[in-house]
Structure 1
Amino acid sequence: MAIGQRTWRDVDGERIEGTWRHAFIRNGGDYYLTDLVIYADGMIDCWGLVTLEELEDKLASGWVATTLDEGARASAHHLGSWRLTEPRIGMTPQRLLGEVRDTIDLLNGRPDSTQRCLAAVEVFRSEPTEENRAAVRALYEAIPEHMRHYALGDMDRKDTPLRILADGPGAHIERWYGDPIEVTEEVHARALEYFAKRERTRREYQRKVPPDGPTEPIDTSVLIRQTVFPKGWPDDAGTLVLRNEYPAQIEVAGHSYPTVTHAYWALSVADEAQRAEIAQAARPYDAEKLAETLPRRENWPQARAAVMAGLLRAKFTQHPDLAAVLVGTAAARLIYTEVGSTFWGQSGREGRNWMGRLLEVIRSELAAEELDVQV
């Protein structure tokens, strides 16, 4: 079962990850199409939270239905209802239970039944004893039956190479497609080579880097933490010079501002006299508080990211020493904290971190200038 459809529930302030699949609930003789929600702590919501053991009972009783009766009424809440004609369903209680167990493993970052079986294959390849073969066979059979032909992710061979290793020479295998095959020594050797090639391909893929660089940052993230200095900024503020409230005067459209914060809040208001007053505020904090009491420009939320990008460009092009600090963060993810704004900053799990993203864009532009790349 895929776990791409994510959800969660809160338990005493802790976020419990979950996912869901469609299922039928049978209540009063009718079937209801609903979501079976599976959580990492082993709880399952099937019109009420139950444990894995209780889900097994629900499946045995038919409450969670894996068979559909001809002519029965079915309903999808608030969407419609219908009568079942020639109903077909490819699920059994044990198959569904196996899916749910695998999903709980994956939600917890543990290997599921397929991954455990493939790990046993690698053990067998390194030490091909009958005991290790038996382990492969047992773990193969532990994969939910309807999921076995997906185990290798190979829609041409399906799970045939896996079954060849699990059963060994002398066995006869009924396949999902085509004629049965006898596992000769030659067939067994080809299956071993299949897994050897598969492992080589996997390792090559893991080492492969996209031609234009890694997808994710490879350097440790840099936290640009919001900090108050009652006695003034230190001479060596490190990466805190990347903060918008750092005292770095900028010139923008013929106007001077003591910090990016002053400029941003001044430009956010419509009245020119009020903009001048904000620009002259004693501290960045004062500039923000003054602007908070004044009306924003029309459509400011749509424009604010572009305005901020322009102000950051001004700061780092007008202050090469600060630009050097920004470029010095290399390819690290920049995480900017901002009390009261989950748009610009990030705090814990919350926040869109747009300031960090924009700083990364400006950093990239500065690096492109050093490479003399014209765009």
Structure 2
Amino acid sequence: MIGNRLTHRIADGVRIPGTWRPAFICNGGQYFLTDLFVYADGLIDCWGLVTVEEFAEKLRTGWVATSFPAGAQASVHDLVDWNFAEPESWTTPDELLGEVRDTIDLLNGRPDSTGRCLAAVDVFLADRTEQNRAAARDAFLAIPESQRRYALGDMDRKDRPLRVLVAGPGGRTYLPFDGTITQESYDNALGYFEERARRNAERPDRTPADGPATSHAPAVQLYHSYPNKPLDEPGKLGLRHDYPAPITVDGAAYPSVAHAYWALSVADPETRPAVAAAPNAAAARTLAAASSRREGWEHVRTAVLTRLLRAKYEQHPELAEILLGTGDATVIYDDVNSAFWGDNAGRGRNWSGRLLELVRSELLAHRAGLFGAAGGR
């Protein structure tokens, strides 16, 4: 699916490689031809960034369409409208999802379903038991059917040697017209793979001296929300700044990081207690917006939020575990009120996500014994 269609997006100042393919979106009963972008960190852009699981749901509901009823209206925005006459679909939702998963693997330099199949074939060729053949056959059938013909990279023979090998003498392939596999066909397939193995063994090792490139961990997306009370199991919601996790900074107590941020932002000291006592983070922001900012606030606000986040995760170890559980993933933070703090579908600077990653690395360093306290303070 990658081919020469290479693109990227910038997240946290990091270039995330990607690719794209055409796809149809069904919105309000009308079909729209659009671009489906797939990125190495596992996010997919089809009218908005979604995770693989969310993309699978869009396929399941038909919002991302792979079949089209005759007579349905279709459109390319600002270019052309038409109606389907005799539409013929070449893929299914499961196949498209499989192609997307394979693409994410390839963008990260990991074996995709084809690579896993060929590895299983190597195991079978080294030890030709029926158990190993069955494993190779299962791995072959796990390749999306639309991609199986390209598995060997042989435009003349396509996947025939592979499907014959995993079917075995007397077996049948997934294509009815192949018929029953003869011993002669099977021996030819064995010869094909033995010659292929010989050629591969003669190729020089291309592994970089410092090891293979590091894969992109699946991104963690923190959608905009309005948490009003603590939860027994907050999950990723607990990583939001407005999640009600009280913190104490310089002797002052705040109901959440957001309360503290907005209270510290206002220039009038007498207004700060009212902001800190607001019933929720949204109300704290509204009160702060009605007051003037501290002079030079835009130059210090990232340092202020960093300190507040350190306090949150030091004072709430259970939330620190949730943050650490994100591994080395890019943290995508949505903030409908700020393109500075939020990623906002790639249009913002995502400083909130960046600082969460910074504090996460400090917590990991502390856990590894590199600092006496988180952040080395």
Q: What amino acid maps onto 1:128 in structure 2? A: R
Distance 2:168 2:37 in 1: 39
Whether 1:100 and 2:100 are equivalent positions in the alignment is yes
Shift in Å at residue 103 of structure 1? 0.2
Change (3 A) 1:174 1:38: closer
Within the candidate set 181, 186, 189, 2:187 is matched to 189
1:206-217 equivalences under 5 Å are 206=203
Partner of 2:311: none
Change (3 A) 1:8 1:33: same
Whether 1:31 and 2:28 are equivalent positions in the alignment is no
1:231-242 equivalences under 5 Å are none
Aligned length: 209
Change (3 A) 1:219 1:150: closer
Q: What amino acid maps onto 1:36 in structure 2? A: L
Partner of 1:56: 56
Q: Which runs of 5+ in 1 are unaligned?
A: 209-215, 221-375
Partner of 1:110: 110
Change (3 A) 1:59 1:23: same
Shift in Å at residue 201 of structure 1? 3.1
Partner of 1:82: 82
TM-score normalised to structure 1 length: 0.52
Tell me which of the two structures has the higher relative contact order, counting C-alpha pairs closer than 8 angstroms and 6 or more residues apart: 2
Partner of 1:21: 21
Q: What amino acid maps onto 1:187 in structure 2? A: S
Distance 1:143 1:137 in 2: 10
Partner of 1:200: 198
Q: Secondary structure at the match of 1:182?
A: coil
Distance 2:140 2:166 in 1: 8
Q: Which runs of 5+ in 2 are unaligned?
A: 211-377
Once superposed, what is the RMSD of the aligned Cα atoms? Answer: 2.5
Shift in Å at residue 168 of structure 1? 1.6
Partner of 1:165: 165
Shift in Å at residue 115 of structure 1? 1.3
Shift in Å at residue 3 of structure 1? 4.2
Preserved CA contact (<8 Å) 1:117 1:140:
yes
Q: Secondary structure at the match of 2:155?
A: coil
Q: What amino acid maps onto 1:180 in structure 2? A: D
Preserved CA contact (<8 Å) 1:3 1:103:
no
Distance 2:144 2:154 in 1: 17
Q: Deviations over 1:314-340 (max 9, x none)?
A: xxxxxxxxxxxxxxxxxxxxxxxxxxx
Preserved CA contact (<8 Å) 1:3 1:107:
no
1:210-225 equivalences under 5 Å are none
Distance 1:120 1:219 in 2: 27
Distance 1:108 1:155 in 2: 25
Q: What amino acid maps onto 1:190 in structure 2? A: N
Distance 2:140 2:157 in 1: 16
Change (3 A) 1:155 1:181: farther
Shift in Å at residue 26 of structure 1? 0.7
Distance 2:193 2:98 in 1: 25
Moved more, 100-109 or 80-89: 80-89
Shift in Å at residue 18 of structure 1? 1.0
Which one has a bigger Cα radius of gyration?
Answer: 1
Shift in Å at residue 174 of structure 1? 5.9
Change (3 A) 1:3 1:51: farther
Whether 1:151 and 2:159 are equivalent positions in the alignment is no
Distance 1:68 1:219 in 2: 50
TM-score normalised to structure 2 length: 0.52
Change (3 A) 1:51 1:122: same
Change (3 A) 1:181 1:85: closer
Q: Secondary structure at the match of 1:172?
A: coil
